[in-house]
Structure formats: structure tokens, C-alpha cells
């Protein structure tokens, strides 16, 4: 069974450009989460989808970040326009159950904004 | 919000040594997981352990939910154990958000 997959693994862009990260959860997992780790700090929650609906987006830093999950399958996280402080590793995770469910993480997408 | 504290923040071990990593949390939680972030940045599930004790090879974990802490034991450490160990808890209230501790950075010397 395939795990959570993320693409790209590494992206280098200039300030002001746009980047779109993609996450494919484990098949059958309705819950999908985005997290990020910036500058070696803590891993911070960004948002949570249940199928195609945003359950909790309280961790999204600002309106330059847009997450979608059309059809309740894969998800995209777009950063537009990117700023220097957006650099970090963006992790996606999925779980079967949103409540007391074990999280499975992808390998992360490393974003570098120059 | 809930606070998740891990100790020690940094740990250097000689290969073959044992260690205990601790995770304290400030409120009741639905579940707790331990992850290992390897030098390539991958987050590897170690244990899903809301309570009780589990063992997997040289690693074991114990969570005492009533006292709000969890311990991760690493025995006979190997250089491949190096990386950052994260404790993550899912809050009991306010949705299904999982909160991570700051991690324990482990370096195992050959």
C-alpha cells in the first residue's frame, strides 16, 4: 500500500513567485492535514480537511496560503506570492479517523524562497 | 492552548548506550504519537500510544495519560538512531488538531 506522497520534494523559488505543493493521502483516508516546519522550529499545524471540506484552517498563516482538496482526494497548497519567511518543510499527513486516529506523514516538500 | 514539552532538547550518546526521552503535556489528550525525523527529513511513525506501553525492537514507549507524560526508550543506540524525535498529541477539545513538541535532537556517535 502506498503511503502519503508529496510533490515536489524540493522547490526553490524567488520572492514574489508562486509555488503549488501537492499531497496524495493514503487511499481511503478521509482526513488530510498540512503542517510545516520553519527554520528548524516546531512542526506547526496549518489545516485539516475531512474529505473535500476544510475542518480547521486556524493554522494558516495568512491569505497568501490557499489549500484545496477537490473531490476529497489529493490536496494542493499554494503560496502566492511567496515570501522569505515561507521557507521551510511542508508536511502532509492523512488518517482514517480524525478523532483518535493515527497520523501518517509524507516525506515533506522543502520550500526555499530566495 | 495545550503545551507539549520535550526533554532533553539535545542528546549525544555513544553507540550502544541507552536513553530515555520525555514528553510532558499540559492537558488531556485523545492520542499521542512518537515520530523520528531522520537526517533526510522524513517523519517516521514510531508509536501510536495514547496510553500503556508498547515495544518495537530496541524502542519502547510508555504513556501515562493520567499524569500527562510519555517516555520513549532507546536501548543499544545505533548511529542510524540519530535525528530528531518528536512527540505529538491530539487535543481532546477544539477539533482534531495535533500539536507537536519541539523535539529532542539525538546524535549517536560511532
Chain A interface test: which of B96, B101, B105 (most A C-beta within 10 Å)? B96
Kindly state the average pLDDT of the residues A64-93: 95
pLDDT above 70 (res B44):
yes
DSSP E strands, B15-110: 19-25, 29-37, 43-48, 52-56, 59-64, 69-74, 83-91, 98-100, 104-109
pLDDT of residue B94: 59
CB–CB of B95 and A48 under 8 A? yes
Kindly state the average pLDDT of the residues B8-32: 94
Chain B interface test: which of A34, A36, A43 (most B C-beta within 10 Å)? A43
**In a 10 Å sphere around its CB, with 0-12 CB exposed, 13-18 middle and 19+ buried, how is residue A48 labelled?**
buried
How high is the mean pLDDT of chain A?
92
B7 against B41, higher pLDDT: B7
Kindly state the average pLDDT of the residues B93-108: 85
Total CB pairs under 8 A between chain A and B: 59
Q: Which of B30, B48, B100 sits opposite A43 (nearest CB)?
A: B100
CA–CA distance, B105 with B80 (Å, rounded to integer): 13
CA–CA distance, A91 with B11 (Å, rounded to integer): 25
pLDDT of residue B96: 66
Amino acid at each position: 500500500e502506498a503511503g502519503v506522497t508529496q510533490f515536489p520534494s524540493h522547490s526553490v523559488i524567488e520572492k514574489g513567485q508562486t509555488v503549488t505543493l501537492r499531497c496524495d493521502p493514503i487511499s481511503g483516508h478521509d482526513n488530510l492535514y498540512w503542517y510545516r516546519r520553519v527554520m528548524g522550529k516546531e512542526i506547526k499545524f496549518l489545516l485539516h480537511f475531512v474529505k473535500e471540506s476544510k475542518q480547521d484552517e486556524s493554522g494558516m498563516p495568512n491569505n497568501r496560503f490557499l489549500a484545496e482538496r477537490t473531490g476529497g482526494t489529493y490536496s494542493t497548497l499554494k503560496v502566492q506570492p511567496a515570501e522569505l519567511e515561507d521557507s521551510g518543510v511542508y508536511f502532509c499527513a492523512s488518517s482514517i479517523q480524525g478523532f483518535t486516529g493515527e497520523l501518517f506523514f509524507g516525506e515533506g516538500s522543502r520550500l526555499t524562497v530566495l | 492552548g495545550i503545551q507539549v514539552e520535550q526533554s532533553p532538547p539535545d542528546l549525544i550518546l555513544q553507540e550502544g548506550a541507552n536513553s530515555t526521552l520525555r514528553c510532558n503535556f499540559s492537558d488531556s489528550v485523545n492520542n499521542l504519537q512518537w515520530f523520528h525525523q531522520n537526517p533526510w527529513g522524513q517523519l517516521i511513525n514510531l508509536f501510536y500510544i495514547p496510553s500503556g506501553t508498547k515495544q518495537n525492537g530496541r524502542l519502547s514507549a510508555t504513556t501515562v495519560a493520567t499524569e500527562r507524560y510519555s517516555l520513549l526508550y532507546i536501548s543499544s543506540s545505533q548511529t542510524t538512531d540519530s535525528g530528531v524525535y518528536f512527540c505529538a498529541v491530539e487535543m481532546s477539545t477544539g477539533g482534531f488538531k495535533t500539536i507537536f513538541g519541539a523535539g529532542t535532537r539525538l546524535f549517536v556517535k560511532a
